[in-house]
Amino acid sequence: MSDAAPYTGLRYDEMPSLWDGFANLVRPGLGLSAFGANVMNLPPDYETKAHDESESGQEELYVGLAGAGAVVVGEERLALDPERAVRVAPGTSRILASGPEGLRVLIIGGVPGEAYDAPNWSSG
């Protein structure tokens, strides 16, 4: 049995962060161990670098929390806002793009069928 509290609740700005507040580390902030979770705070009209998760095998779920933007997969722009979510398979390259108001997005990830193994950079 774990010594962790049976529940945890924090504001995003109370969680560990990276890159001058660009990312809030939800997993270590709340003590999650079953899956990875981060909040990315994209400024207006911003695009991340393209990446995929072929090395990690991680499937990712993107949930829009505030603002609007898209997950760009190849030539397709999948809308992302508080009314939409997007799933991307591990080997698929993706870019997160924000609109004029910016975008706050919750990213949840894990390897299908495997226990979660957190990357070193995500430990806060």
> Domains in the chain, please, with CATH?
41-112 (2.60.120.10)
| 48 pLDDT more than 90 | yes
Q: What is the pLDDT of residue 21?
A: 77
Give the separation between CA 103 and CA 82, rounded to whole angstroms. 10
Averaged confidence pLDDT in the chain: 90
Contact partners, residue 49, CB within 8 Å, separation at least 6: 95
0.85 exceeded by pTM: yes
Cα 34-86-91 angle, rounded to 5 deg:
75
| 123 pLDDT more than 70 | no
